[in-house]
Amino acid sequence: MADELPHALNVLWGRAKPKGRGRTPALSLERIVAAAITLADEEGLAALSMARLAERLGCAPMSLYRHVTGKDDLQLFMLDAAPGPPPEFGTAPADWRGALTRWAVELFGVYLRHPWIVQLVSSPPVDPGQLAWLDAALRTLGGTPLDWRARFSVVMLVLHYVRGAAQLVTSVTAEPEEGADGAYAALLTEFADPGRFPALARAVEAGVFAPHAGPGPDDDFRVGLDHLLDGVGVAIERAART
C-alpha cells in the first residue's frame, strides 16, 4: 500500500524518510514548504513553480528535487502544513455548537489566509494535517445523540459551507475594482423589475446591495453559519427523542 501512495504522504506518515539533503546546507524540506506556502499566499497558486521557488530560496531548481519529487509532491506537503493545528476539543464537548462554531470560524480564517488551499483540495483528505481538522470537527459532536454517520454528514455540510464562503470572499476581493459595488447596485436598480423579480427588487429597494451598506464578509459568514447550525440543532433534538 505504501508503494502506491505519493512520496509526500509516505513521508508525512513516517513510512518513508525525506529525500536526501541537498548541497545547500540551509535547504531543508521544512524551509522549502514554508517558502512555497508564502509564495502561493502572496502571488497565487499559478505563480508557484519549481523554478520560481528555487529563485526565492536562492538555490538551483535541481536542489529542490533532492527533497521533493516534483510540484505535486510539494503541494501535498503544503496542504498538510499550511492549516496548522486545529482547535483543541475534548472527546465530548458540552457545548457542541460553540465548539463547531469555533472550528468553522478558525477554518474560514485558514482559507482566507491561504486561498489556494480551496483550489488544491479535490479529494478526501489523507494527510495528517487535514485529518487532524476532520477529527477535531467530529469530536465537537461527541456529546450529541447523533450516530457516527450523521456526525460525519454534519461535518461535511459545515465544511462545504466554509469552503464555499471562503471561495466567494477571496474571488470577489482578489482584484477589487474601484466603484464596482456601486456599479452593480446601479445595474440591479435598473434591471430588477418588480414584476419579474419581485423579491430581488424589494432587496434592492432595502439597500441590500448598496456599497458598504451591510455587514462585512466575516459577519455574513457568521450569519450563514448560525442559520446552518440552527438546522443541525433541530436534527440533534430529533435524534434525542428517538
Whether 131 and 125 have beta carbons less than 8 Å apart is answered as yes
Contacts of 175 (CB under 8 A, 6+ apart): none
pLDDT of residue 180: 54
Running along the chain, 242 residues long, what does each successive block of 10 average in pLDDT? 78 84 72 98 96 95 94 96 95 93 98 96 90 97 97 98 93 58 82 94 89 69 97 97 90
Q: Are residues 36 and 139 in the same domain?
A: no
Q: Which domain does 64 fall in, by range?
A: 2-81
pLDDT of residue 122: 81
Residue 7: inside a domain: yes
Whether 7 and 69 have beta carbons less than 8 Å apart is answered as yes
Q: Are residues 52 and 165 in the same domain?
A: no
Q: Are residues 110 and 226 in the same domain?
A: yes
The CA dihedral of 120, 123, 126, 129, to the nearest 10 degrees, is: 40
pLDDT of residue 18: 82
Residue 157: inside a domain: yes
Residue 15: inside a domain: yes
Where a domain ends, among 57, 81, 105? Answer: 81
Which CATH number belongs to the domain containing residue 123 in this structure? Answer: 1.10.357.10
Residue 182: inside a domain: no
Q: Are residues 100 and 75 in the same domain?
A: no
| DSSP-based three-state secondary structure for 204 | helix
Q: Are residues 125 and 217 in the same domain?
A: yes
pLDDT of residue 185: 82
Q: Are residues 126 and 234 in the same domain?
A: yes
Q: Are residues 63 and 156 in the same domain?
A: no
Q: Taking the CA of residue 15 as centre, how many other CA atoms within 13 Å lie in the half-sphere pointing to its CB?
A: 13
**Start-to-end C-alpha separation, the chain:** 41
Residue 74: inside a domain: yes
Where a domain ends, among 81, 114, 147? Answer: 81
Determine the residue type at 100.
L
Whether this model's pTM surpasses 0.75? yes
pLDDT of residue 183: 82
Whether 71 and 27 have beta carbons less than 8 Å apart is answered as no
The cell for 11 is 513521508
- Reference 174, options 115, 215, 109; nearest CA is 115
- 127-145 pLDDT, tens digit each: 999 999 999 999 999 999 9
pLDDT of residue 214: 53
Q: Are residues 68 and 124 in the same domain?
A: no
Which CATH number belongs to the domain containing residue 72 in this structure? Answer: 1.10.10.60
CA distance linking residue 125 with residue 121, whole number of Å: 8
Residue 113: inside a domain: yes
What total of structural domains would you count in the chain? 2
Residue 8: inside a domain: yes
Q: Are residues 26 and 67 in the same domain?
A: yes
Residue 130: inside a domain: yes
The cell for 89 is 476539543
The cell for 211 is 456599497
CA distance linking residue 237 with residue 68, whole number of Å: 49
3-state helix, strand, coil in the chain (%, to 5): 65, 0, 35
- Please, what is the Cα angle at 27 between 63 and 131, to 5 degrees? 100
Where a domain ends, among 15, 50, 81? Answer: 81
Q: Are residues 77 and 101 in the same domain?
A: no
Q: Are residues 74 and 42 in the same domain?
A: yes
Determine the residue type at 132.
A
CA distance linking residue 129 with residue 239, whole number of Å: 31
Q: Are residues 137 and 72 in the same domain?
A: no
